[in-house]
Amino acid sequence: MRTSQWSDAVSVIERVTIVLGCFGADDQRVGISELARRANLPKSTVSRLVSELVEHRYLERDGAGVRLGLRLFELGELAAQPKALRTLALAAMADLRDVTGHTVQLAVLEGVEVVYVGVIHGRNPPAPRARIGSRLPAHATAVGKAILAFSAPDAVERVIETGLPLVGAAPVRVSAFRAQLDGVRAGGIALDSDSGADCVASPILDGAGRAVAAISVCGRTGAFDAPGAGPAVRTAALGLARRL
């Protein structure tokens, strides 16, 4: 392949990635014009890419818009680590939901964000409802802090270098964030309270003592005693660690 052809191919891949990345967790369908606006690409370019993605089942037409297609779901199910981890954790997650009555989540760290790879909803779950595949800044979640406390120092520094952007009602200071991680290392439990939801999480550690994931329980503020659920969450995390 000539250099110009290779550059063109890379450019197409980048545009496809941008278009697919424009879909959010709450999008049932998105129109072509809106996709073009979000992607900052010409509408004609987006229309052409969408047609090809529909042909290959990565997108599906839905009235005047499009939605993510089954082919993406199929590929997602082939992702070995999240799938294996979710399968391993499913029974423990269900037990934890039954014991607490609240929503149980399983998450992994990717870059400076956490990705939710497992969710079992409890009674009256907090809004917005967590979804498999949804992402949040690691520093702003209990699962993120649980993982970072037992991650390599460079992973923590990457998160800090983002500036710990404002999430919810209160800004996060670097000194306070480091203190939170120290507390998680000491007790094995991370807490977070924001936007009407309280969460408690514990890391799932490998044989080297590094976090591969975290499990959490979340409930509506005022209806859930997050610290009180800490021992149950910690027990579940330790049990999963032994099975890795």
* Residue 79: per-residue pLDDT: 64
CA distance 179 to 163: 16
Please list the pLDDT of the chain residue by residue as tens digits (244 residues): 444 443 455 488 899 999 999 998 778 899 999 999 999 999 999 999 999 999 999 999 998 899 999 888 778 766 656 778 888 999 999 999 999 999 999 999 999 999 999 999 998 888 776 788 888 999 999 999 999 999 999 999 999 999 898 776 566 899 999 999 999 999 999 999 987 899 999 999 999 999 999 999 999 999 999 999 999 999 999 999 999 8
CATH topology of domain 79-243: Beta-Lactamase (3.30.450)
* Residue 125: per-residue pLDDT: 86
CATH architecture assignment, domain 3-75: Orthogonal Bundle (1.10)
Residue whose tokens read 């590929």: 75
* Residue 27: per-residue pLDDT: 84
Q: How far apart are the first and last CA of the chain?
A: 44
Write down the domain spans for the chain: 3-75, 79-243
- pTM (predicted TM-score): 0.74
Answer whether 3-75 and 79-243 agree in fold: no
- Judge whether 64 and 97 are in contact, CB under 8 Å: no
Beta bridge partners of 108: 115
Q: Which of 75, 146, 83 is nearest to 109 (CA)?
A: 146
* Residue 196: per-residue pLDDT: 87
CA distance 115 to 167: 17
* Residue 78: per-residue pLDDT: 64
- For residue 124, the Cα-to-chain-centroid distance in whole angstroms is 21
Q: Which of 64, 91, 76, 63 is nearest to 20 (CA)?
A: 76
